[in-house]
Amino acid sequence: MYPAICNVLRNVCLSLPRCYRRSFSTSLLTCHSYDPDGKTTVQVLNKELETLMIDSYSQVGFRLNNGMFILGPMAIFPRTVLSWNIGIVEDINEESLSLFCLLEPKPDILVLGVGDATNSTRLNKQVLSYMVKNRINIEVLPTEQACATFNFLNAERRHIAGALIPPLALRPTEEDILLTKIKQKKFFK
Q: List pLDDT tens digits, range 15-55.
A: 544 433 333 334 444 555 555 566 665 554 445 558 899 99
Q: Looking at the structure, do residues 153 and 76 belong to the same domain, yes or no?
A: yes
Q: Looking at the structure, do residues 10 and 95 belong to the same domain, yes or no?
A: no
Percent of the chain whose predicted confidence (pLDDT) is above 70: 73
> Residue 69 has what pLDDT?
92
> Residue 20 has what pLDDT?
39
Angle ∠(161,136,63) on CA atoms, nearest 5? 15
Distance CA 176, CA 162 (A): 25
Provide the 8-state DSSP code for 52: -
Q: pTM here?
A: 0.66
Domain tally for the chain?
A: 2
Please return the burial class of 91, using the count of CB atoms within 10 Å of its CB with bins 0-12, 13-18 and 19+: middle
Is there a domain that residue 177 lies in? Answer: no
Domain that holds residue 71: 54-164
Q: Looking at the structure, do residues 113 and 87 belong to the same domain, yes or no?
A: yes
Q: Looking at the structure, do residues 82 and 120 belong to the same domain, yes or no?
A: yes
Q: Looking at the structure, do residues 37 and 59 belong to the same domain, yes or no?
A: no
Is there a domain that residue 179 lies in? Answer: no
CATH code for position 89? 3.40.1230.10
Q: Looking at the structure, do residues 32 and 117 belong to the same domain, yes or no?
A: no
Distance CA 117, CA 49 (A): 33
Is there a domain that residue 187 lies in? Answer: no
Is there a domain that residue 169 lies in? Answer: no
> Residue 140 has what pLDDT?
92
Q: Looking at the structure, do residues 58 and 133 belong to the same domain, yes or no?
A: yes
Distance CA 37, CA 62 (A): 51
> Residue 44 has what pLDDT?
47
Mean pLDDT of the chain: 79
Q: Looking at the structure, do residues 37 and 63 belong to the same domain, yes or no?
A: no
pLDDT tens, residue by residue, 92-144: 999 999 999 999 889 999 999 998 877 777 888 888 999 999 999 999 999 99
